[in-house]
Structure 1
């Protein structure tokens, strides 16, 4: 039952999509129901009154005419006298026709009609004849053996009243029947029904006009509330509504203003906390660079002398060296993340041969034996070489660590695939591993995400793929992850970048002012999953001039 009601509400909502239309329809239906009910009641009351008055007057006149004319006939009468009495009875102000039945002085049945060609005894309904002829017992509750009966009939689409009675007091008792036309009453009732129909239509029109006025009155503050909510959603947290009155809409406006004020205060607090947290991370990362530089120098010396150290000390030295490098990578990644969050990261564009770029990235990290390159020479693009190198290093390193060699890197140009409609550079990294677990796919580009909770101290920090995604976004591109379609394919990461990112690069003055770059790709969601602690940084310890200026 509830499901049926839900479906009905859904269909009604589809038929009546706007609140104004619903108000007009509801007002119209209510007005129509009220007008039809009132008109119907008025019609039936008037119809009953008109018909009752007409038939009572006709039957009363018929009874009196029976007494005056048939009752005055001699005890021994003939058919001519009975016809004369029927003619005198029909000559009445009520305008009915009469049929009289009796026995003449010879005992023969005699039927006399005032209009033989129009109303005869055969025209009287059988049920009415039986009722008139039936004799009833006389007692305290019934003082007369015969009564006056009537019935409404339709002849040739015209309404008539048929009445009949026996004359009491003489034997044999003559019977009389009358036929009165109700056409006048029908015409009066037709005029009344037309009047009520016109009144109903006028009431419906008035209700619709009233509904329009009411809808305008009700929807105006609702529209203002909708506009205010839209401005609030656009970030204009100082939006407020003008409140007047004490009705429900005014109370709703007050509630909206209170909610907007609370939201503005809360957002200000969260923004202050977020800015403080970002500043803290940036300051902490910046302050850690100096001691890390000194520690890194010492660890390099220790690493060079590791073979000459005591065998009991060498493993500890190796652990210190690896953890120091891991900490240095983490600090650099945190600094890069703060640049993206603060909107200070910018593009430094150059024309690059993509195949040469991929080869250089692989060669710098000694991955030539484990990576197969499928790229045509001469595919050029105007991109930021350093950021493209970071993306490639993370994707290929992640595939080598968590997939399986050989890792295949293919470079293609896809016409019109860029968000701007221009040609897109498509770089696909495919490994031969087991693929990406389905529960990991939605989180692979999340910061600090690691697919296995049992590896909290893994070599990676969980930032590599998220930084790769940010670098793709700043170019106006994106990265998507999926599982291969054939058995020999594992995870497949697809990088889509525009071949020319010039429109997304900011002028030098804008970047120094700390504005967020225009290269934010609309596809900001997570495109897939992968164990994010498998990033490969390589020579990712870069210096970003704009970033250092904001950190100073």
Structure 2
């Protein structure tokens, strides 16, 4: 575009300057010769010449070096207008002279200090039948004929057309050169920049092995080397982080497995001690009883923590699987509340007959964590509501078919709301983080900080989601959204492969909360 603008501008300016120069040069020569002929030939005529004298003078004037056509107009002795025509352009007549030019020639100017003559020479360019002409006229000073001249500018027009063609060819060659230069620029500058952009996008998509081919020693080559170095450093750093993360996961998994064996023995002992505490015989020394109760409580807490860590490692390793069954959602919530003796503290608002195909054990884990968290950190009563979402228009959502099977897709929405002070705004983004506790001053609270994280992972494995918010009326609201049928997830994960992990729900209600 720059070359096009420059070439067209240069050609236009060159054509205009040359046109003015050519026309001005031809025009000045013709007008100078015409003036000279008017002084020599027409000035020698009497004030009232005859037509023959005018005709003879016109013929002599047209024979000058410029070969222009001449028309002389005068008044004879009887005040009759007579004409003398050289006949050079098929009878050059007064009608061929523009009216404006005739008026200017015949108009007498006022003689002043700056204007010493009453009449002047006037000229005008016209086009007649496609041919340009220079037409001029003047009067003889002191009385005498009025002379008009017509000169064809066709040779000059041909020269200017040749110049225009030459400039057009030069402009075309300049544009071709500009195109070649643009191609060279695209090859040497734009294409490497494009490749760099493509490589950056690939790197942003996670393809850390992306590298650029480096050639040359210019700034783009330096930029490509810098990009390659940055990509190599990033790949190395990500590999190191992945290795550390894998080592950390393996350590947690190994530690959890190693702790289970001694914990099994410790748990058996604590169960015996707990039975002794609850027996009527009272076999435990009253002085030792608080310590025994503390050991039993902490052992149970440690066992829950190890089970939670085992669950987390399954999610991290991608080995957690769903064992699906047709679940009556309201009955499942009621069983979860009843197993943990929460009936007096929890209000259930759920229609009977809402079925979903889910993993009952994992749903129980989610509910236990959400309700237990509301009871522990919120305020009673805790309200649990269930509704359907995404059902067909005009219906009530997916309904159970024969045997309680889910017949239509959609969502089951479960809300757990407490009546406590709510969740601080700065805590809301972190409530599902692992080991996160809102109160840093109580690091040894009963919870492990993994309950909500495990609940969220169990929701995700179903293809669902959990969100936390504060109710405008007060209290925290946790919203669980689960698909009515999670079968497609198990099919995508391997055709409904059965869960290979150890089921830790023993019906005692001692799961993570």
- The answer as to whether partners of 1:371 and 1:407 remain within 8 angstroms in 2 is yes
Q: Which of 64, 85, 92 pairs up with 2:36? A: 64
CA distance in 1, matches of 2:194, 2:498: 39
The answer to whether residue 354 in structure 2 is matched with residue 364 in structure 1 is no
Contact 1:404-1:431 within 8 A present in 2 as well = no
Distance 1:448 1:264 in 2: 29
In structure 1, the partner of 2:3 is 31
SS in 1 for 2:459: helix
- Return the alpha-carbon distance in structure 1 between the equivalents of residues 67 and 289 of structure 2: 136
Q: Say which is worse superposed, 45-54 or 290-299, in terms of deviation.
A: 290-299
Give, in whole Å, the separation in 1 of the partners of 2:109 and 2:82.
16
Cα deviation digits, residues 37-85 of structure 1 (max 9, x gap) = 12202211221122123202312321332344235446x7635435542
Question: Which residue of structure 2 aligns with residue 404 of structure 1?
Answer: 380
Count of residues paired in the alignment: 478
Offset of 1:341 from its aligned partner?
A: 1.8
Looking at structure 1, the residues matched to 45 and 387 of structure 2 have their Cα atoms a distance apart, in angstroms, of 127
Are 2:409 and 1:423 equivalent residues in the alignment?
yes
Shift in CA distance, 165/352, structure 1 to aligned 2, threshold 3 Å: closer
Alignment RMSD (CA, Å)? 4.8
1:33 Cα shift?
0.6
- Distance of aligned partners of 1:77 and 1:49 in 2 relative to their CA distance in 1, 3 Å threshold: same
Aligned: 1:494 with 2:480: yes
Post-superposition Cα deviations, 1:491-520, rounded to whole Å, max 9, x if no partner, equal 14123135243314548999989xxxxxxx
- Native 8 Å contact 2:314 2:320 kept in 1: yes
Tell me if structure 1 keeps the 8 A contact 2:109–2:117: no
- Residues 1:275 and 2:263 are matched in the alignment: no
Determine helix, strand or coil for the equivalent of 2:134.
strand
Which residue pairs with 1:50 in the alignment? 22
Are 2:365 and 1:390 equivalent residues in the alignment? yes
Within a 5 Å distance, the mapping from 1:24-423 to structure 2 comes to 29-73=1-45, 78-80=49-51, 81-82=53-54, 84-92=56-64, 94=66, 96-98=68-70, 114=85, 115-118=92-95, 123-124=100-101, 149-154=121-126, 160-163=133-136, 176-182=147-153, 185-186=156-157, 189=160, 192-193=163-164, 196=167, 200=171, 207=178, 211=182, 215=186, 220-222=191-193, 224-226=195-197, 228-290=199-261, 292=263, 301=273, 305=277, 322-375=297-350, 381-401=356-376, 402-410=378-386, 412=388, 414-415=390-391, 423=409
CA distance in 1, matches of 2:256, 2:390: 40
Query: Which segment drifts farther, 465-474 or 493-502?
Result: 493-502
Q: 1:456 to 1:94 in 2, by over 3 A?
A: farther
C-alpha separation in 2, matches of 1:457 and 1:252? 53
Indicate the residue corresponding to 1:446 in structure 2.
Answer: 433
Change (3 A) 1:191 1:470: same
Query: In the alignment, is the contact (CA less than 8 A) between 2:330 and 2:354 conserved in 1?
Result: yes
Contact 2:382 2:417 in 1 (8 A): yes
The answer for the alignment partner of 1:471 in structure 2 is 458
CA contact (8 A) 2:357 2:485 kept: yes
* Larger CA deviation: 425-434 vs 210-219: 210-219
Contact 1:480 1:494 in 2 (8 A): yes
After superposition, give the CA deviation of every residue in 1:307-330 in whole Å (9 maximum; x if it has no partner): 97668x877766665555444433
Secondary structure of 1:495 counterpart: strand
Task: Report the counterpart of residue 26 of structure 1 in structure 2.
Answer: none
> Partners of 2:341 and 2:250 in 1: how far apart?
37
Contact kept? 2:451, 2:512, Cα under 8 Å:
no
Q: TM-score, normalised by structure 1?
A: 0.68
Gaps of 5+ in 1: 1-28, 139-143, 514-536, 543-552
Q: Distance in 2 between matches of 1:235 and 1:341?
A: 20
Task: Name 1:459's counterpart in structure 2.
Answer: 446
Going from structure 1 to structure 2, the CA distance change for 1:309 and 1:181 (only over 3 Å counts) comes to farther
CA shift in 2, pair 1:509/1:354, >3 Å: closer
Distance 1:285 1:512, change over 3 A: closer
Distance 1:150 1:450, change over 3 A: farther
For residues 114-133 of structure 1, the C-alpha deviation after alignment (integer angstroms, 9 at most, x for no partner) is 34533569653666677988
Give 3-state SS (helix, strand or coil) of 2:217's partner. Answer: coil
TM, length-normalised to structure 2:
0.73
Distance 1:109 1:95 in 2: 29
